[in-house]
Structure 1
């Protein structure tokens, strides 16, 4: 009679000695999950910021390098492709010695001089025009004067009009793309030694072209100067 009661009491005592299993707190679990996600987001954001800074720094270095390299790069590109009427480089010296002038087609070469608005020099051609023949060398001069009481360094670009004639206009000696320093009130004569390639006569696009304009534009050379693509200036 008392045995079942004893068994019940023993089980109750065993239950009392068994430690309770603690269930996890839902609020704590959610907090830890949110905190971990925030840490991951902040870490990813810091990586993106570092990457952006690296890209901006690299872009700044490349831009600075390009500003210093603008003149030689522009010179190589234009002279390689006769872009915008720039004259071709890499003339054949042996061709100069053996070519014969074509006296049946005189070509009038006009000379133009311009300068940037902040350029303090006086710059002009010594001759307005000369007549040459394809296959004949010619020499012309420009004059630059520094009327100020300060030393001024200039640099020039040039082009040829019509643009199609640029590939046949070969310079032997030229003052373009090179820095020219003039002391206060100094004047200098700058030569242009050139020839028109005899193949000029064989180009159908230039069949009716009997006049070419050579135009120079001077800029004051300063750090970071980027020379613009030369545009034709009105013939004087």
Structure 2
């Protein structure tokens, strides 16, 4: 569980300065468009900036290091965010969309704020639309399926580092897909709560309660 302490005004100013540097660094990583450079650089700057998130252990780093962008295919990735009515958080993406080629790494940010006067733990899941694109959408690091503790009135930025598998360009069922929606939803994290699986991993007749 990630525990973040409250900041005083001096620390807040320092955090604002760090945020500017953070986004400048992240922009540099996105513009690299070279997977082998993106992964280690991302790990370094996340450690230095104290960003949370979970590394996806199943990620094939050799594939990420050697994959080539599909130059004649650009996918618009749109972002949406929501919080359960049982969770009094303000949760939203910091960018509406990014354009990425299959085989490129990209970085996006979401922000979450605890609107209550008490510490609250949330946990998130995500969905991909169209769900047929889900198996090709790979997250190198994200914040889903991991408890996030926010102190009263605290706000944090949450990164998602991802790539679209270049093999998507060879899937005839997706040849006309030029837009993917990545959406997250946060729930209160309580004992016994089962986080819904992403839509593309669920049986087609499954319902989320």
Tell me what 1:92 maps to.
60
Can you list the C-alpha shifts for 1:166-219, whole angstroms capped at 9, x where unaligned?
A: 111010001000000000111100000000001010001101000000010100
Deviation of the 1:224 alpha carbon: 1.9
Q: Which of the pair has more CA radius of gyration?
A: 1
Q: Partner of 2:192: helix, strand, or coil?
A: coil
Of structures 1 and 2, the one scoring higher in RCO (CA 8 A, sep 6+) is 2
d(CA) in 1 for partners of 2:69, 2:88: 40
Q: TM-score, normalised by structure 1?
A: 0.59
How many residues are aligned here? 145
Tell me what 1:199 maps to.
167
Can you list the C-alpha shifts for 1:109-140, whole angstroms capped at 9, x where unaligned?
A: 00010111111110000001010000000000
Q: Which runs of 5+ in 2 are unaligned?
A: 1-55, 201-209
Tell me what 1:159 maps to.
127
Could you tell me whether the CA contact under 8 Å between 1:146 and 1:186 is conserved in 2? Answer: yes
Structure number having the greater strand percentage: 2
Structure number having the greater helix percentage: 1
Tell me what 1:102 maps to.
70
d(CA) in 1 for partners of 2:117, 2:99: 38
d(CA) in 1 for partners of 2:57, 2:174: 20
Deviation of the 1:228 alpha carbon: 3.4
Q: Which runs of 5+ in 1 are unaligned?
A: 1-87
